Amino acid sequence: MAFRMFYEQDCDVSKLDGKKVAIIGYGSQGHAHALNLKDSGVNVRVALREGSASKAKAESQGLEVVSNAEAAAWADIIMILINDEFQAAMYKKDIEPQLAPGKTLAFAHGFNIHFGCIEVRKDCNVIMVAPKAPGHTVRSEYLAGKGTPCLVCAHQDATGDAFDLALAYGAAIGGARAALLETDFRTETETDLFGEQNVLCGGVTDLMEAGFNTLVEAGYDPRNAYFECIHEMKLIVDLIYESGFTGMRYSISNTAEYGDYTAGPNVITEAAKEGMRHNLRRVQNGEFAKEFLLDMSDESHQVHFKALRRAAAESLMERTGKEIRKMYAWNDEDKLINN
């Protein structure tokens, strides 16, 4: 299916005039959406659960904080930006009882709508505005007068202008300065999960660790292996981000470029591609969603998830990296976690 692209001239931000927008959650995406909307002149409030540690931060940044239920009753547009695994229960408890005809439910990821965890009454809109970057980048690009591309769509159009509202919202958070790409909930959900699992996270991290372990098993110093297989990844990705594969290959040595063409296929073999196809099928048929939600449930206590996280954090590669990063001159600048 071919989707359309939209830019600032295609978006009528005045569609948000007089609209009240509630942002549910104040994490990476939540803070960026709320602050960008506020700076664009939109009437916005932040909704947080009782006792949230984010309340003081949101209030210090000039935002009014209310409960989820209060926000849902007050708002015309309700953007849900808490973790996927918490959305359905929160929606059932706090949002659904406060809905009225003509309200708009908005999401930045299609997981709960696509897999049927949340079903919204038919007299309300359901839209998506999904920035293709972490929230901190969404905010910093907006402040720099630029923007982050977003995926947008209207899944349920009760008022006749749901897609126009999605475009207006996308423009108000800065996305239309770059581009707004039309999509649908199925496409966004399945491609997002596939990309995360097979390339951006699961694929890249497994590839880097496999390279590290191959060198260490061959007798090389783990620190040397870390520099070659982990540290330099950012340099390559930055070049690709700026100029694509062609630009990256222009910037590296002929030796590296030749090895790129000839050695890569020995790693990403047909077996690896079949593994990707298998993982895509698990996303498409709902197996991954079912497994994930089961492990995230109160009954399961995230036992499997936490075990995986602990094992990964204790690997030789991570222990080596912790020591290597202490040498970096920028080690204490803007760190996400202290390790």
User: Are the C-beta atoms of 173 and 27 separated by less than 8 Å?
Assistant: no
C-alpha to C-alpha distance for 87 and 106, rounded to whole angstroms: 12
Amino acid identity of 123? D
C-alpha to C-alpha distance for 23 and 296, rounded to whole angstroms: 23
Does the annotation count 301 as an active-site position? no
For the beta carbon of residue 61, count every other beta carbon within 10 angstroms. Answer: 13
State how far the alpha carbon of 39 is from the alpha carbons of 32, 69, 274, in Å: 11, 25, 47
Token pair recorded at residue 14 = 């005045």
Identified catalytic residue from 31, 109, 114, 155: 109
User: Are the C-beta atoms of 107 and 79 separated by less than 8 Å?
Assistant: yes
User: Are the C-beta atoms of 178 and 144 separated by less than 8 Å?
Assistant: no
User: Are the C-beta atoms of 13 and 21 separated by less than 8 Å?
Assistant: no
User: Are the C-beta atoms of 136 and 167 separated by less than 8 Å?
Assistant: no
C-alpha to C-alpha distance for 136 and 53, rounded to whole angstroms: 18
Q: Which residues are catalytic?
A: 109
